[in-house]
């Protein structure tokens, strides 16, 4: 795992001290809100419906057990005993008091965590594959590259006032677990004839104008990747629409210029930047990569374990939550944060502590956060799987629903968020309850719910997406079908007029019935939808 060095620590400590002073001046009346608000946003502190919300960065979704324990501690001491893991692999605390925020940040800093660049028009937290360094299908470990991006983008003076926020995701596997085509820059590490390089997508995003990223480079040599990213940001910084917040994201620029011309601009800028020492020297790449060498795996362990035939719960959980590891004798364990009746992505302080314990005992002290708002123990010995299952049972986290209908991605919506039009969590809960009895039979079905057009709940990327809208002051929901955030990325399309909360649950049930009736052997919901198109689904819902 990456360990923060003196430079990282100095940056974070200096920021905590600076923010402490700014908060003191706000509280004494020396600073008014107009001047203070941009300062607090630079430190991830938003004002939401009920309180301040603090967004803490989890670089590429990797947490140590120690860090997770600190998050639990913070939840208990400064919040109401829980936190919310987000689709960008971060965590949000919902009940922070301004007067306590500096102490909170100082506590986080003790374990190398912070909220820098979790808000505002800068390069946000770099996201990645939660199975990095563990996945059996991994071609290249993305973590050193994500860390390079993190160091390069941290407090980068040229990119601190971009036209709008900027999100980068990087993966190193053919199966996309990081939704790279929905990011401003999406990177896929690959090998070609023994050389290391990246496929570069640009201009993807959700929000009011959802778009899939366009590929502007099929194979960028790895040695040049920072200067190339810098070239992309320069072109964006120069030409992005600062005059209109709704047109300021890079996706709008890429669309306006066309991917080809945008790529040509980037190439021109890159030709100019290439020789200027922006790219990390190879020795530095290797130094960073050394942080991500394997934990001390035991080789030659039995690659199997006895699933007790008397425990069908364990068997079901293993089939759903446990993935192959690239090292024989190990497994990747997915921990669902979508228990029945729960709030997607929420974890209590006790649950965080329990997972930190498990990470220490069984996974070399490592935990990952997924963009689907679940957690991962990346390196568990196969023979320990039954013990991990039993421990998760005890804290209510042994749900076997990965990628099933009740594994819903959901934003905070009108229960917490000032920008929301409608609640999203109760709709997700009602859908999960309705579909849970048949979810195993339905197979992979990704449902995603957002409380407004900003699309924090990824509804455009849902096999089934739900968008909360305001209809004359009441909550209303649109139904979208056919999206995907994975390697077969696509944008979901609106099916027809909106519904009440109860109505949209009923509509989803009908959509699912069409799938059960029409599916061919081996087809997921998404495959059936793609084969048939919207007509039969529309007929079932509105007919």
Going residue by residue from 64 to 103, which x/- string records binding to another protein, judged by CB under 8 A? Answer: ----------------x-------------xxxxxx----
8 Å CB contact between 377 and 355: yes
Binding status of residue 209 toward ligand SF4 by CB under 6 A: no
CA distance 68 to 389: 19
The residue within the footprint of ligand HEM, chosen from 160, 237, 255, 454 (CB under 6 A), is 454
Binding at 426: pick from another protein, ligand SF4, ligand HEM, none (beta carbon under 5-8 Å per type): another protein
The residue within the footprint of ligand SF4, chosen from 49, 139, 289, 419 (CB under 6 A), is 419
Q: Total number of residues binding another protein (CB under 8 A)?
A: 31
Per CB under 6 A, which region of 124-132, 276-284, 298-306, 455-463 contacts ligand SF4? 455-463
382 versus 414: smaller Cβ distance to ligand HEM: 414
Nearest by Cα to 454 from 95, 86, 171, 155 = 86
Torsion, Cα of 437, 440, 444, 446 (10° steps)? 20
8 Å CB contact between 262 and 185: no
Minimum CB separation of residue 414 from ligand HEM in Å reads: 11
Binding status of residue 413 toward ligand SF4 by CB under 6 A: yes
423 versus 524: smaller Cβ distance to another protein: 423
Binding at 80: pick from another protein, ligand SF4, ligand HEM, none (beta carbon under 5-8 Å per type): another protein
Tokens for 475, please give them: 């909550």
367 versus 461: smaller Cβ distance to ligand SF4: 461
Binding status of residue 140 toward ligand SF4 by CB under 6 A: no
Output the CA–CA distances (angstroms, integers) from residue 17 to 5, 20, 111, 176, 458, in the order listed.
18, 5, 16, 39, 36
Binding status of residue 429 toward another protein by CB under 8 A: yes
The residue within the footprint of ligand HEM, chosen from 136, 419, 491, 540 (CB under 6 A), is 419
Going residue by residue from 25 to 64, which x/- string records binding to ligand HEM, judged by CB under 6 A? Answer: ---------------------x-x----x-----------
Binding status of residue 96 toward ligand HEM by CB under 6 A: no
Per CB under 6 A, which region of 9-17, 205-213, 346-354, 435-443 contacts ligand HEM? 205-213
The residue within the footprint of another protein, chosen from 50, 208, 268, 291 (CB under 8 A), is 50
Q: Is the dihedral of CA 10, 108, 128, 456 positive or negative?
A: negative
Binding at 451: pick from another protein, ligand HEM, ligand SF4, none (beta carbon under 5-8 Å per type): ligand SF4
Minimum CB separation of residue 419 from ligand HEM in Å reads: 5
8 Å CB contact between 459 and 466: yes
Minimum CB separation of residue 33 from ligand HEM in Å reads: 17
* Angle in degrees, 0-180, between the axes of helices 425-435 and 501-518, rounded to the nearest 10: 40
3-state SS, 107-147, equals HHHCCCCCCCCCCCCCECCCEECCCCCCECCCCCCCHHHHH
Number of H helices, E strands in the chain: 17, 20
Q: What does residue 517 show for φ and ψ, rounded to 5 degrees?
A: -75, -40
Q: Which residues partner with 195 through β-bridges?
A: 192
Binding status of residue 452 toward ligand SF4 by CB under 6 A: yes
CA distance 440 to 453: 31
Contacts of residue 128, Cβ cutoff 8 Å, sequence gap at least 6: 60, 61, 89, 142, 143, 146, 169, 170, 171, 178
Tokens for 379, please give them: 């390196």
8 Å CB contact between 50 and 349: no
Where does this chain bind ligand SF4 (CB under 6 A)?
411-413, 417, 419-420, 450-452, 454-457
Where does this chain bind ligand HEM (CB under 6 A)?
46, 48, 53, 86-88, 92, 164, 167, 205-207, 249, 411-412, 416-417, 419, 454-456, 458
């Amino acid at each position: 795992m990456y360990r923060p060095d003196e430079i990282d620590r100095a940056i974070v400590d200096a920021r905590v001290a600076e923010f402490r002073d700014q908060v003191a001046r706000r509280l004494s009346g020396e600073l008014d809100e107009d001047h203070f608000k941009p300062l607090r946003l630079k430190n991830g502190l938003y004002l939401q419906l009920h309180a301040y919300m603090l967004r803490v960065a989890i670089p590429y979704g990797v947490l140590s057990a120690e860090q997770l324990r600190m998050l639990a501690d913070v939840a208990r001491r400064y919040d109401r005993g829980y936190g919310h893991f987000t689709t960008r692999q971060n965590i949000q605390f919902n009940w922070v008091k301004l007067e306590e925020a500096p102490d909170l940040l100082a506590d986080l800093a003790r374990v190398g965590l912070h909220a820098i660049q979790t808000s505002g028009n800068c390069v946000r937290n770099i996201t990645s594959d939660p199975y990095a360094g563990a996945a059996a299908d991994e071609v290249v470990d993305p973590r050193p590259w994500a860390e390079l991006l993190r160091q390069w983008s941290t407090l980068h003076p040229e990119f601190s006032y971009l036209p709008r926020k900027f999100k980068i995701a990087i993966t190193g596997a053919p199966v996309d677990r990081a939704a790279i085509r929905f990011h401003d820059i999406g990177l896929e590490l690959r090998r070609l004839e023994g050389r290391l390089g990246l496929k570069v997508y640009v201009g993807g995003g959700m929000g009011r104008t959802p778009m899939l990223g366009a590929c502007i480079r099929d194979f960028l040599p790895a040695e040049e990747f920072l200067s190339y990213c810098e070239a992309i940001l320069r072109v964006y910084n120069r030409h992005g629409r600062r005059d209109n917040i709704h047109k300021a994201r890079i996706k709008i620029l890429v669309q306006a210029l066309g991917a080809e011309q945008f790529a040509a601009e980037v190439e021109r800028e890159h030709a100019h930047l290439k020789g200027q020492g922006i790219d990390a020297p190879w020795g530095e790449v290797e130094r960073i990569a050394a942080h991500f060498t394997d934990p001390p795996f035991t080789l030659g362990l039995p690659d199997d374990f006895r699933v007790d035939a008397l425990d069908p719960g364990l068997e079901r959980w293993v089939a759903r939550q446990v993935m192959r590891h690239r090292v024989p004798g190990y497994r990747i364990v997915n921990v669902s944060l979508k228990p029945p009746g729960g709030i997607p992505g929420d974890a209590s302080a006790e649950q965080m502590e329990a997972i930190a314990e498990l990470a220490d005992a069984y996974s070399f002290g490592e935990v990952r956060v997924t963009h689907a708002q679940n957690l991962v123990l990346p390196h568990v010995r196969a023979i320990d799987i039954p013990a991990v299952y039993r421990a998760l049972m005890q804290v209510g986290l042994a749900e076997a629903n990965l990628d099933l209908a009740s594994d819903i991605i959901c934003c905070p919506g009108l229960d917490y968020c000032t920008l929301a039009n409608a609640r999203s969590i109760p709709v997700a809960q009602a859908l999960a309850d309705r579909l849970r009895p048949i979810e195993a039979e339905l197979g992979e079905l990704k449902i995603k719910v957002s409380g407004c057009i900003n699309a924090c709940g990824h509804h455009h990327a849902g096999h089934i997406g739900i968008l909360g809208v305001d209809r004359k002051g009441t909550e209303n929901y649109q139904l979208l079908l056919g999206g995907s955030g994975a390697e077969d990325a696509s944008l979901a399309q609106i099916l027809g007029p909106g519904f009440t909360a109860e109505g949209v649950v009923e509509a989803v049930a009908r959509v699912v019935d069409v799938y059960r009736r029409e599916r061919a052997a081996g087809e997921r919901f998404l495959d059936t939808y793609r084969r048939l198109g919207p007509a039969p689904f529309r007929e079932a819902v509105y007919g």
